[in-house]
Amino acid sequence: MDKYGKFCWTKKLGDMHLSGKNITLCGKPMLGNNYSDIRKDVPMCKECESQANREIVRDAVKEAEMTVEQAVTKFHWCCAAIVKEAYINNAKALNYCGPYAKLGLTFDSIALVKAQVPYVLDNMTHWRGDLAKKVRKYLKEVTHALRNY
Ligand SMILES: [Zn+2]
């Protein structure tokens, strides 16, 4: 296994490849002996590597893909998290963001939610920590999900 979680395929000579099903990601047949356990410090085939990276991006996009209803729900979740931090935990970094999030919680229309996301994001730039990271990630997914509306 390599850093992409894929089976490695290395011939006696040449680069290390990554396995698809019966062929390498770059399209070479996987015939004969595999030397990946012996030839460990071999550079990775560029085509296999870029193919593996494309798969990662594809999976990430698929994961972020959601219905409009899910996007609105996710937006409300973010607003609720911000409201809680701003008004219950008194996070100073959310002084300006709090009211935008509070208002956002009342929005059910896609157009209003879509319009509100940038205000929320723009006013939480000083907010730090794991929750902040998560909310930022979710709001970007919401933006992506609502891009065509
Ligand atoms: Zn390859």
Q: How far is the CA of 59 from the centre of ligand 1 (A)?
A: 20
% of residues, the chain, pLDDT over 90: 72
pLDDT at position 63: 67
Q: How far is the CA of 111 from the centre of ligand 1 (A)?
A: 46
The closest of 69, 7, 67, 58 to 36, measured between CA atoms, is 7
- 3-state helix, strand, coil split of the chain in percent (to 5) is 55, 5, 40
CB-CB contact of 98 with 86 (8 Å): yes
Nearest-10 Cα torsion for 48, 50, 53, 57: -130
Q: How far is the CA of 26 from the centre of ligand 1 (A)?
A: 4
pLDDT at position 2: 73
Domain boundaries, the chain: 8-63, 68-145
- pLDDT single digits (tens) 43-61: 999 999 999 988 887 777 6
**Number of Cβ within a 10 Å radius of residue 18:** 25
Q: How far is the CA of 32 from the centre of ligand 1 (A)?
A: 16
pTM of the predicted model as reported, rounded to 2 decimal places: 0.59
Residues within 5 Å of ion ligand 1, judged at the Cβ atom: 17, 24, 26, 45, 47-48
Q: 113 phi and psi, to 5 degrees?
A: -60, -45
H-helix or E-strand containing 9? Answer: strand 8-10
Q: How far is the CA of 34 from the centre of ligand 1 (A)?
A: 13
- The per-residue pLDDT string of the chain (149 residues; one tens digit each, 9 = 90 and over) reads 677 778 899 999 999 999 877 899 999 999 889 999 999 889 999 999 999 988 887 777 676 678 888 999 999 999 999 999 999 999 999 999 999 999 999 998 999 999 999 999 999 999 999 999 999 999 999 998 888 88
Q: How far is the CA of 28 from the centre of ligand 1 (A)?
A: 7
Q: How far is the CA of 60 from the centre of ligand 1 (A)?
A: 23
Q: How far is the CA of 13 from the centre of ligand 1 (A)?
A: 13
Nearest-10 Cα torsion for 66, 67, 72, 73: -70
Q: 9 phi and psi, to 5 degrees?
A: -130, 110
- pLDDT single digits (tens) 91-104: 999 999 999 999 99
